[in-house]
Amino acid sequence: MIILNGGSSSGKTGIVRCLQAVLPDPWLAFGVDDFVDALPARMQGSEGGIEFAEDGGVSVGADFRELEAAWAEGIATMARAGARIVVDDVFLGGVASQERWRKVLDGVDVLWVGVRCDSDVAAGREIARGDRTPGMAAQQADLVHLGVAYDLEVDTSRTESLDCARVIAAHVR
């Protein structure tokens, strides 16, 4: 299993698609965005769910955390059942987020990958995408890496997604 962690607009999804293309075996891709899409619409913008502040800040509540934990356990089961899985996540809690994954992934072989991107580059790409609350990229660029331990790190500031994917793929057994 591969877990990519990086801030909003750091280029995780592009790397995931390239990984699926360059890895010879079929890998399933899941991300925290899929989890958020699976939530009831009313939990987007509510205290117990997930809130996006006007400055790009993101906060999540108790209901969100509870369902997210069940979701992560399910992903772990898929891996144990033999599926190759790449997950892209945004560790809003830094090392605490990594610990939550570690707990459910006991016994699963994980390659931890940090996806870095300079704050100003990510902020520019956020404008170019046009579908995210402005400010998220800058707020999360460093925050999500606090205290997190990686097997390897890539930096999309000046490296293409496909090249990052090739570096990661070389570490996959």
Residues that bind a copy of itself (CB under 8 A): 11, 13-15, 17-18, 20-21, 26-30, 34, 38-43, 48-49, 63, 66-67, 69-71, 73-79, 81-83, 121, 124-125, 127-130, 158, 160-163
Among 12, 59, 51, 53, CA closest to 31: 12
In the complex, the smallest distance separating the C-beta of residue 99 from a copy of itself, rounded to whole angstroms, is 17
| Catalytically annotated residues | 33
Nearest CB to a copy of itself, comparing residues 158 and 173: 158
10 token code pair: 């750091």
Q: Which is nearer to a copy of itself, 73 or 142 (CB)?
A: 73
Q: What is the rounded distance in angstroms from the CA atom of residue 8 to the CA atom of residue 127?
A: 12
Least Å distance between CB 71 and a copy of itself? Answer: 6
CB 161, CB 79: distance < 8 Å: no
Specify the residue, 105 or 148, whose C-beta has the smaller distance to a copy of itself.
105
Which residue do the tokens 């913008």 mark?
A: 45
The helix or strand, by DSSP H or E, that contains position 28, with its residue range, turns out to be strand 27-31
Which is nearest to 16 in space by CA: 158, 113, 150, 91? 113
Question: In terms of CB distance, is 64 or 148 closer to a copy of itself?
Answer: 64
CB atoms within 10 A of CB 23: 16
CB of 87 to a copy of itself, least distance (A): 10
CB of 72 to a copy of itself, least distance (A): 9
Q: How far is CA 69 from CA 72, 74, 103, 117, in A?
A: 5, 9, 10, 27
